[in-house]
Structure 1
Amino acid sequence: MKKKICFVIMGFGKKKDPLTNRTIDLDETYKKIIKPAVTASNYNCVRADEIMESGIIDRSMFALLINAELVIADITTYNPNALYELGVRHAVRPYSTIIIKEEEEVSPFDINHSRTLSYKHLGSEISNLEAKRCVRELKDLISTVTTTPLTDSPLYSFIPKVVQPKLAQEHFDEIIGELRTREDSIYSLMENAKEMIVREDFVNAAQKWKRLSEMVENDSFFVQQFALCTYKSQTPNKLVALTTALTIMEKLKPFNDAESLGIAGAIYKNLWRETSDMEFLNIAIETYKKGWNLFNDYYTGENYANCLEQRALNESDSHLKIYYRIEAERTRKEVIDIVLPLLSVHKEELEEVKWRSATLSNCFRSLGDISRAEEYEQKFLNENPETWEISTFQATKEELIKLKL
């Protein structure tokens, strides 16, 4: 490869931050900040999952850690593999390593003196304004590292006489081969699965996510996507797909992140719809409630309120019926208080506003404000949602209309 290589070590997909309990989409960081900055700096940008054939670190990884002219390490969510690989890089290369992290992260003691670029992540996305700022700053850092290399490894800083290991270029070329051409790499499989979801090919998408979950053990993101696509596939029928998805999610219990709680809640809710078994609705309520109470996650909040309304409809005790409806109304108002400022303040900066708009539409409709419900429904549609996303929104809308009859 003629261009110099920048090897990026970081987690991929959506990961839970153990300190803040937030779920961070690390792919957003890679696609909106790291890759644009690296490419603009005339480096060939390679992320670990673009060359990995399994979740186990292989010789390609070690070769890149030794010989890549530049390494960028994103330690957001304290991904253990990323931290390990950063340690290896610091052991084999005295300079040309850049650390980045989400601004709420606290750097581990051993590297808190290293040069670090911080960025603001909104969880599922990064604002365009923030991405532009970070791309600019990261490009400046790359330029500095390239033109004026300084020791940034703690090992070589404290013990400067350590002999750096070397890997002959011909051996490096032999190990690396053609980067990002393997159809069975984690990156390729993940991109294929995402494309299938856009095409609503949930059956084949589920198979891709299944393979990924087997390749990378204990990765919750792959398991979540496997379960999500399984229940949306409705294959061989809705009930079997839902029970299979529930079995897949069992691997992640206890559910302690918003993504798992949201998917599990949806499975239980749909199981109730298919079977009319109130126990499924009760579990859905408790699952969504946990996601709402722990994370103020608007998706679980909206669905918690919707399930409470359904529970009220099927409750014979008049006092409980009143409680469910009051709790649903209170929750929807709190959801609006959380989501509305995000759209009004940051709308011009965000790519993904459709689900926030859909949530506001549903909440306003439930509260009887039809004018604002229609306003935000149109904003949702203006974002060009996929066909399956429109179907999901319409199903919820129709359900809410029936509740008010």
Structure 2
Amino acid sequence: MTKKQKLCFVIMGFGKKTDLSTGKTLDLDKTYKNIIKPAVEKAGVQCVRADEIQDSGLIDKSMYALLMHADLVVADISTYNPNAIYELGIRHAVRPYSTIIIKEQEGSIPFDLNHNRIFHYVHLGDDIGVDEAERCKEALVEMIESILKNKVIDSPLYDYIQDIEPPKLTQKEYQRIIGDLSEREESIFAISERAKHFMEGSNFIEAARLWEKAESLVPNEAYFTQQHALAKYKSKNPTVISSLTDALQIIEKLDPDNETNDPETLGLTGAIYKRMWHATNDAECLKRAIHYYGKGFKIRRDYYNGENYALCLNLAASIEVDLDEKTFYKISAKKARQEILEILSHLSEEEESSQSINKWPYATLANCYFGLGDVNSGMKYEKIYLALVTSDWEKETYFEGKEILTKLING
């Protein structure tokens, strides 16, 4: 299942700025394009800088909303840009954790920030060396993954003053602000945020329209194509079969038949063919679903592809007349589920207080245990999944799959 992407908002100056403490002029756009943005995206997080959402009269309120809402903020305080320092202060006031401060290595650090952990990099002025950019990207990726997982307090306000609660930004207010931007359809970020909002509300027709627009604006971004395909087949518009056919045409842009090893692309292609089989009972569609799910599972050991690969093998067993083939499908499904439990064993060993906020592994664990006949463990992880789920369509998808699996296992 395609996962909701986390969001990083980047605080920094734009273009060339001079550090008055050193007299050195830095092209900060090079820092963003060569270090920050590729590192954030490599960590699987959506990266947005203020100039990418700028719209006349709206930059201030969208900035405040993003400083509160973003899962991660990266603040480059090189040259001590006043706006960047001010925005960092706001972030520290509204979020206890998930803020990274970076700075070019030369120059002094303001007293109020010198107790914070700061990531340093070397800037040549007009550009950043290739080796330095690579070093920084790798180090920053590790830092981002650790910070998002562990949620250690990095705001001095929440570190020094105990028992204070951060302010809350309601989802309704956040969507109102982002909606103001997306209605002008000038911001790729705002369009995608609006599309996510419609997905949350199961309005897949409108979501598909917005994902299509996002895809047309950034045609080389696989994420937008994947979301467009997902929303299209979920829309069932104008009919179930036509929406699946359209979704298949969309996802084929990412070439699932050849070189791709992207588990999201393979999983979505498998999902489309699985739904085609349910709609038509065409065995070839089920065969293709097994192929794509199996490819995603075997190449990347992706648990989502593996779970659906196992389910489709059970479906194949249910319609197979040859007893040897039927047995082969059932044994292969069992082995796949056992391997998935090994892949996700770190979740099985977690304490409740440290559980992941990503809901889908828990849905997979539940279904794997149900498929292996361990109902108690299945119910345990189903409970965790349902506590994390936020959208009706996500619950419906889960229970549809569980119902099919239950009938297959008990049949």
Shared topology, TM-score over 0.5? yes
Tell me: CA distance 1:275–1:121, structure 2 relative to 1, closer, same or farther (3 Å). Answer: farther
Aligned partners of 2:363 and 2:398 also within 8 Å: yes
- Candidates 119, 131, 137, aligned match of 1:109: 131
* Residue 132 of structure 1: aligned partner: 152
Instruction: Provide the rounded CA distance (Å) in 1 between the counterparts of 2:193 and 2:377.
Output: 37
Instruction: Provide the rounded CA distance (Å) in 2 between the counterparts of 1:25 and 1:243.
Output: 30
- Candidates 200, 203, 207, aligned match of 2:202: 200
* Residue 300 of structure 2: aligned partner: 295
* Residue 395 of structure 1: aligned partner: 400
Q: CA deviation at 1:313?
A: 1.0
The residue type equivalent to 1:286 in the other structure is: H
Aligned partners of 2:293 and 2:305 also within 8 Å: yes
Q: CA deviation at 1:343?
A: 4.7
Instruction: Provide the rounded CA distance (Å) in 2 between the counterparts of 1:11 and 1:235.
Output: 36
Aligned pairs for 1:33-182 within 5 A: 33-35=72-74, 41-43=85-87, 92=126, 108-109=130-131, 111-112=133-134, 117-119=140-142, 126-127=148-149, 129=150, 131-132=151-152, 182=181
Q: CA deviation at 1:27?
A: 5.0
The residue type equivalent to 2:365 in the other structure is: L
Matched, 1:25 2:45: yes
Aligned pairs for 1:251-290 within 5 A: 251-254=253-256, 255-290=260-295
Instruction: Provide the rounded CA distance (Å) in 2 between the counterparts of 1:111 and 1:331.
Output: 40
Alignment TM-score, normalising by the size of structure 2: 0.64
The residue type equivalent to 1:34 in the other structure is: V
Q: CA deviation at 1:34?
A: 2.4
Aligned partners of 2:198 and 2:207 also within 8 Å: yes
Tell me: CA distance 1:310–1:27, structure 2 relative to 1, closer, same or farther (3 Å). Answer: farther
Q: CA deviation at 1:44?
A: 7.0
Q: CA deviation at 1:354?
A: 2.2
1:317-360 deviation per Cα after TM superposition (whole angstroms, max 9, x unaligned):
21111111101000001111111323533763455242122111
Tell me: CA distance 1:182–1:26, structure 2 relative to 1, closer, same or farther (3 Å). Answer: closer
* Residue 99 of structure 1: aligned partner: none
* Residue 307 of structure 1: aligned partner: 312
Tell me: CA distance 1:113–1:278, structure 2 relative to 1, closer, same or farther (3 Å). Answer: closer
Matched, 1:357 2:362: yes
Matched, 1:245 2:247: yes
Q: CA deviation at 1:109?
A: 2.8
Instruction: Provide the rounded CA distance (Å) in 2 between the counterparts of 1:301 and 1:37.
Output: 40
Q: Which runs of 5+ in 1 are unaligned?
A: 18-22, 46-69, 74-88, 95-106, 138-179
Tell me: CA distance 1:320–1:126, structure 2 relative to 1, closer, same or farther (3 Å). Answer: farther
* Residue 221 of structure 1: aligned partner: 223
Aligned partners of 1:6 and 1:72 also within 8 Å: no
2:321 aligns to what SS in structure 1?
Answer: coil
1:34 aligns to what SS in structure 2?
Answer: strand
* Residue 376 of structure 2: aligned partner: 371
Aligned partners of 2:317 and 2:330 also within 8 Å: yes
The residue type equivalent to 2:309 in the other structure is: Y
* Residue 385 of structure 1: aligned partner: 390
Q: CA deviation at 1:71?
A: 8.6
- Structure with the bigger RCO (C-alpha within 8 Å, sep 6+) is 1
The residue type equivalent to 1:32 in the other structure is: D
Tell me: CA distance 1:383–1:370, structure 2 relative to 1, closer, same or farther (3 Å). Answer: same
Instruction: Provide the rounded CA distance (Å) in 2 between the counterparts of 1:280 and 1:72.
Output: 53
Q: CA deviation at 1:315?
A: 1.1
Q: CA deviation at 1:11?
A: 5.1
2:44 aligns to what SS in structure 1?
Answer: strand
Instruction: Provide the rounded CA distance (Å) in 1 between the counterparts of 2:228 and 2:358.
Output: 25
Instruction: Provide the rounded CA distance (Å) in 1 between the counterparts of 2:350 and 2:383.
Output: 19
1:254-313 deviation per Cα after TM superposition (whole angstroms, max 9, x unaligned):
432011011111001001111111111111101001110111110000000000000111
* Residue 322 of structure 1: aligned partner: 327
Aligned partners of 1:200 and 1:388 also within 8 Å: yes
Q: CA deviation at 1:380?
A: 1.4
Aligned partners of 2:39 and 2:140 also within 8 Å: no
Instruction: Provide the rounded CA distance (Å) in 2 between the counterparts of 1:265 and 1:214.
Output: 24
The residue type equivalent to 2:294 in the other structure is: K
- Candidates 187, 190, 193, aligned match of 1:188: 190
Q: CA RMSD in A?
A: 3.8
Tell me: CA distance 1:118–1:269, structure 2 relative to 1, closer, same or farther (3 Å). Answer: closer
Alignment TM-score, normalising by the size of structure 1: 0.65
Tell me: CA distance 1:352–1:6, structure 2 relative to 1, closer, same or farther (3 Å). Answer: farther
Q: CA deviation at 1:192?
A: 0.5
Tell me: CA distance 1:402–1:40, structure 2 relative to 1, closer, same or farther (3 Å). Answer: farther
Tell me: CA distance 1:41–1:231, structure 2 relative to 1, closer, same or farther (3 Å). Answer: same
Q: CA deviation at 1:110?
A: 5.6
Instruction: Provide the rounded CA distance (Å) in 2 between the counterparts of 1:355 and 1:6.
Output: 37
Aligned partners of 1:13 and 1:27 also within 8 Å: no
The residue type equivalent to 1:238 in the other structure is: V
1:256 aligns to what SS in structure 2?
Answer: coil
Tell me: CA distance 1:366–1:351, structure 2 relative to 1, closer, same or farther (3 Å). Answer: closer
1:302 aligns to what SS in structure 2?
Answer: helix
Instruction: Provide the rounded CA distance (Å) in 2 between the counterparts of 1:345 and 1:37.
Output: 34
Q: Which runs of 5+ in 2 are unaligned?
A: 1-10, 15-31, 50-65, 78-82, 90-100, 105-122, 157-178
The residue type equivalent to 1:313 in the other structure is: S
